Amino acid sequence: MTDDKVYPASKPPVAVNGGTTANPTFPATKAQLYSANRPAYRPPAPRRRTHSRGCCCRCCCWTIFVIILLIILVAAASAVVYLIYRPQRPSFTVSSLNVSSLNLTSAAHLATAISLSVVARNPNKNVGFSYDVADITVYRVSPGDDDVVIGKGSIASFVHGKKNTTLLKSTVGSPPGDLDELSAGKLKGDLKAKRGVAVKIVLDTKVTVKMGAVKTPKSGIRVTCEGIRAVAPTGKKATTAVTTAAKCKVDLRFKVWKFTF
């Protein structure tokens, strides 16, 4: 009978906290090396919420509110002024247009001499107008064609009082420069026609409106008068244009109150 021999392990097991653990494996694996050197994971601290977005929203809301409030106040003030003064447009009428000269002295040069009288009426009891110098442009009008400038002039500045009627006079001369060949040819045919030349008069200027203590900045005003027929004179005697069908349109806009009257 033979005895069984017992061979002890090459190294005793390592005791940890009073117990025994299995022998470590050698060499150490990559996972064991990385685990030993890796620091413990700590979750990031939660970020504190800032109130900048809320402040921006409040600022935008207040800005919009102030703008809307200003618009309402301006509209209310405009309505009050309108109800108190009841402003109306001034009116203009062509009273006479006498042609002393309207002929082509060369192939493209036009000689013009026109005496123009315009009546301006202010129907308002509490509203006055103050006009700058007005530029006058006289056009030859033809349906379907571009208007051709046949005269230039001006009217001196004037004050249009309350419930006032003013007679404005001006002399219209030749336009600057020569006409192009096509325009000159069409105008030449109109000058020979018995019906004469269809004419349009345009006045451009700036006006200041005074309503009680309220005085607006200067605003543009345009007066367009159509329905006029002029005949070129054949001798030294001037001809009188037909103005019975003339109608004048006034385009006036205030930049302060943002409404047209």
CA distances from 219 to 75, 139, 186, 206, 253 (A): 19, 24, 36, 5, 7
Mean pLDDT (the chain, rounded): 81
Residue 154, pLDDT > 90, answer yes
Of the ranges 39-48, 101-110, 156-165, 248-257, the best mean pLDDT one: 156-165
Supply the pTM of this predicted model. 0.67
CA distances from 41 to 33, 35, 44, 46, 47 (A): 16, 11, 9, 15, 18
Q: Residue 27's pLDDT is what? A: 61
Tokens describing residue 132? 């700058």
Lowest mean per-residue pLDDT among 40-44, 50-54, 116-120: 50-54
Q: Residue 156's pLDDT is what? A: 95
Distance CA 233, CA 197 (A): 12
Mean pLDDT over 120-149 rounds to 90
Q: Residue 259's pLDDT is what? A: 47
Distance CA 90, CA 123 (A): 7
Three-state DSSP state, 165: strand
Tokens describing residue 164? 């006032």
189 vs 242, which has greater pLDDT?
Answer: 242
Q: Residue 261's pLDDT is what? A: 47
Distance CA 15, CA 26 (A): 18
Of the ranges 13-17, 140-144, 159-163, 209-213, the best mean pLDDT one: 159-163
Q: Residue 8's pLDDT is what? A: 52
Q: Residue 113's pLDDT is what? A: 94
The 8-class DSSP code of residue 164 comes to: -
CA distances from 29 to 10, 24, 35, 188 (A): 21, 11, 10, 110
Distance CA 50, CA 56 (A): 12
Residue 123, pLDDT > 50, answer yes
Q: Residue 30's pLDDT is what? A: 57
Distance CA 143, CA 148 (A): 12
- Over pLDDT 90: what percentage of the chain? 39
**Architecture of the 91-253 domain:** Sandwich (2.60)
Distance CA 95, CA 46 (A): 86
Mean pLDDT over 26-35 rounds to 58
Mean pLDDT over 91-104 rounds to 93
Residue 50, pLDDT > 80, answer no
Residue 94 contacts residue 201 (beta carbons within 8 Å): yes
User: Sorting pLDDT into bands at 50, 70 and 90, what band is 212?
Assistant: confident
